[in-house]
Structure formats: C-alpha cells, structure tokens
C-alpha cells in the first residue's frame, strides 16, 4: 500500500484528499459550491453535477501536488458511491474508475455515511464498539458500530434530516444558505427558553422526525409576524436550535443507556455546531460515557473521510470492481 486518493462529489462540495500508507492525511482539498447555490437557497442538483465535472480533475491534481506525490504513487482510489445526488455521484465515480483503470490500481466505493463515521478515526484512536450519531444536511442516523463495516442502525430520520431542518428554518428567518452555521451565530446571544417547541414522538424511540418541528417553527414565525408581536430572532434561533439538539441528545443518551455501549462518536456537518458539542459534553459528564468528534473541517463533507473509510475497509479485505454503481439511496 502506497498512497490513497479519496474523492467526494455526492452533494455540493467537490473534494479530493490524499492519505499516506499509515492512513495519515497528506492533503485535504475542498472546493465549495455554496456561492453557486446560495442564489437558489439550496442545492440545485444539475448545477452541482456540472461544477463537479469542471472542478474535479484540477482539484485532484492540486491534491497530489499538495501531498508531494505523482499519480503513479497512488495504490488505492476511494470514491463516494452513495447516498447522494445522482449527477454528482456519477461524476466522481466515472473519474475514479477512469483513473484507477489507467493507473492499474484498486478501487473502493465508499458509503458517504460510513465516510462521515470514519472521519472520527482521522485524528484520534477510538476503539469500537461505539454508538455513532451522524447528523448532516442529508442524513440523521443513530447506530452501533461493532467494527469497520459492521453497523446496526438503531434509528434514522423519518422525514427531514437535522441539518436540512436547521437550514429551512434559517431560510425563513432570512439567513443565508446553508443556514446551520448562521443560525448558530444568531442563537449565540439568544434565550433558548424563549419559545416553546413540541417534543416529537416516534414509534421507534431511536428514530427522528424533524418535519413537525420545522412546521411548528414556521407556523409560529408566521403567527408572530401576522400579529405583529415583539420578536427576537436571536431568541427564536436559540430556542429552535435548542429543540433540535435536545432531540438528538435525548435519543442518543437513551441508546447509550439501553445498549450499555459507553463510547459515543458524533459525526456529520451539524457536529460543527458548538452548542451541540457542549450539550453532549454535559451529557457525557452526567451519564459517564466517553465522547469523540472530529474537528469541524472533518465534520462537513470532505474527501479525507472517504479516503479514511476506503483505507480502513481495504484493510478488512474489501475491494470494489468496475461494475461499481452510483446509488443515490444507498443505506448502510
């Protein structure tokens, strides 16, 4: 094993990364499309795919240069094959297949959610079994990881993902896309107890449902607006963000209690949120479990996590062949 190239194009970040043979990150480049999509208030799949196509070849060249290696030094290419937007996935996958075929090296398809989980192994040693909570713009999943490649999903969202909900409510508040980080900023000096939000129940206690919470928030905003009541967007942002985080913490703590697994790994874009980490930190002290999460750069979409997942899977003997397909609805 020499170097591993990771490629990520499943949503609105074109990303390429290089790891060395020990799995250490040598280069991690991300070309964000936020500016392109902010005009529309969300990701436009067709525009995203076209931009991936334009950017990816140059970004891979830059990643190799940043790592100080040549294409011939690569021995494995790891690429996101799902879940995600079909156009973007096809761009990444076609590029990775072409390059692997040209170089005569191994190819490995990575599930994007497994990629997020493996971000937790980039900067620290964590020994499974673990409870993993992955919260991003497209996914909310609570699972037990026994080892690399072995996951038992306890629950997932029944409708919107946590990040998607934050983004939508932020948009109604007039904040730019993607709203999660802007909502966090607005919430920083707000009172989280100012506005009450309902607790949403699900049949499976580990499933999530954010759509009702989102509708309650939007209806409340409209009501406040129509009746011209005094309104603090900071208080509203803090209350809504607090309600989303409370759901995530409560269900995860319950999973830790019932499974007896005393280590928790948080991953995905929403984990960049400082309030979320602080609430989980408090829970870990109160409930006596160990808490792990990656640096913000490895929380949001990146290719180092895809390369890391490919590297770890490769060492369990997994390989993909050239029949590897893009699967927008791929589950773990």
Q: Residue numbers of the site for Zn ion (CB under 5 A)?
A: 136, 301
Ranges within 293-322 binding ligand KG4 (CB under 6 A): 300-301
The Cα 156–Cα 203 span in angstroms is 12
- Phi and psi at residue 169, in whole multiples of 5°? -70, -40
Please confirm whether the linkage preceding 83 is cis (ω < 30° from 0).
yes
Q: How far apart are CA 15 and CA 9, in angstroms?
A: 7
Least Å from the CB of residue 115 to Zn ion: 7
Cβ 301 to Zn ion shortest distance, Å = 4
Q: Describe the strand order of the beta sheet including 290-292 as a list of residue ranges.
A: 150-156, 140-147, 130-135, 263-267, 290-292
What tokens were used for 182?
């802007």
Which of the listed partners (Zn ion, ligand KG4, none) does 115 bind, with a CB threshold of 5 to 8 Å by partner kind? none
Residue 49 binding result from ligand KG4, Zn ion, none, given CB thresholds of 5 to 8 Å by partner type: none
Smallest separation (angstroms) from Zn ion to the CB of 254: 25
Pick the stretch among 143-151, 199-207, 266-274, 308-316 that binds ligand KG4 (CB under 6 A).
Answer: 266-274
How far is it, in rounded angstroms, from Cα 131 to Cα 246? 17
Q: Is 48 in the site for ligand KG4 (CB under 6 A)?
A: no
3-state secondary structure of 11: coil
Which of ligand KG4, Zn ion, none interacts with 273 (beta carbon under 5 to 8 A by kind)? ligand KG4
Dihedral class, residue 202 (left if φ above 0, else alpha if ψ from -120 to 50, else beta): beta
Instruction: Pick the binder of ligand KG4 from 270, 307, 309, 330 (CB under 6 A).
Output: 270
- Nearer to Zn ion (CB atom), residue 136 or residue 320: 136
Binding mask 95-114 for ligand KG4 (x = CB under 6 A): --------------------
Nearer to Zn ion, 134 or 209 (CB): 134
Residue 74 lies near ligand KG4 (rule: CB under 6 A)? no
For residue 242, the partner it binds in Zn ion, ligand KG4, none, with Cβ less than 5 to 8 A by kind, is none
- Decide whether 3 or 179 has the Cβ nearer to ligand KG4: 179
- Strand partners of residue 130: 145
Report the nearest approach of ligand KG4 to the CB of residue 223 (Å): 25
**CA distances to 68, 114, 156, 269 from 153, in Å:** 39, 12, 8, 19
Nearer to ligand KG4, 166 or 283 (CB): 166
Q: Give the Cα separation of 34 and 168 in Å (integer).
A: 15
Would you count residue 120 as binding ligand KG4 (CB under 6 A)? no
The minimum distance between CB 203 and ligand KG4, in angstroms, equals 25
Contact between 190 and ligand KG4 per CB under 6 A: no
Run of H or E residues at 290 = strand 290-292
Helices and strands (H, E) in the chain, number of each type: 11, 10
> Does position 11 bind ligand KG4 by CB under 6 A?
yes
DSSP assignment letter at 269: G
**Cα-only R_g, the chain:** 20
Residues 127-186 that bind ligand KG4 (CB under 6 A): 136-138, 163-164, 166-167, 178-181, 184
d(CA 11, CA 100): 22
The site for ligand KG4 (CB under 6 A) is made up of: 11, 136-138, 163-164, 166-167, 178-181, 184, 268-270, 272-273, 300-301
């Amino acid at each position: 094993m020499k170097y591993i190239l990771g490629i990520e194009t499943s949503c609105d970040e074109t990303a390429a990364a290089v790891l060395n043979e020990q799995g250490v990150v040598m280069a991690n480049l991300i070309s964000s499309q936020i500016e392109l999509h902010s005009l529309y208030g969300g990701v436009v799949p067709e525009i995203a795919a076209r931009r991936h196509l334009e950017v990816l070849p140059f970004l891979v060249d830059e990643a190799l240069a940043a790592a100080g290696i040549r294409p011939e030094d690569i021995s494995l290419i790891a690429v996101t094959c799902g879940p995600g937007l079909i156009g973007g996935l096809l761009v990444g996958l076609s590029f990775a297949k072409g390059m692997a075929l040209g170089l005569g090296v191994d190819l490995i398809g990575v599930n994007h959610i497994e990629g997020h989980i493996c971000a937790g192994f980039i900067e620290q040693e964590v020994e499974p079994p673990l409870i993993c909570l992955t919260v991003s713009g497209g996914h909310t999943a609570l699972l037990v990881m026994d080892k690399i490649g072995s996951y038992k999903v306890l629950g997932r969202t029944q409708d919107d993902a946590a990040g998607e909900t934050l983004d939508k409510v932020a948009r109604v508040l007039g904040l730019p896309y993607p709203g999660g980080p802007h909502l966090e900023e607005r919430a920083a000096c707000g009172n989280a107890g100012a506005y009450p939000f309902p607790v949403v129940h699900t049949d499976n206690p580990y499933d999530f449902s954010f759509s009702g919470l989102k509708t309650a928030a939007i209806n409340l905003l409209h009501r406040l607006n129509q009746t011209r009541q005094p309104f603090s967007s900071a208080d509203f942002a803090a209350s809504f963000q607090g309600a989303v985080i409370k759901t995530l913490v409560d269900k995860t703590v319950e999973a830790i209690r019932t499974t007896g697994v005393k280590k928790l790994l948080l991953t995905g874009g929403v984990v960049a949120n400082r309030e979320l980490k602080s609430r989980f930190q408090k829970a870990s002290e109160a409930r006596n479990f160990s808490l792990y999460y990656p640096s913000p750069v490895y929380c949001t979409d990146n290719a180092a996590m895809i390369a890391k997942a490919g590297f770890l899977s490769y060492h369990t003997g997994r390989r993909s062949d050239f029949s590897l397909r893009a699967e927008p609805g791929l589950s773990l």
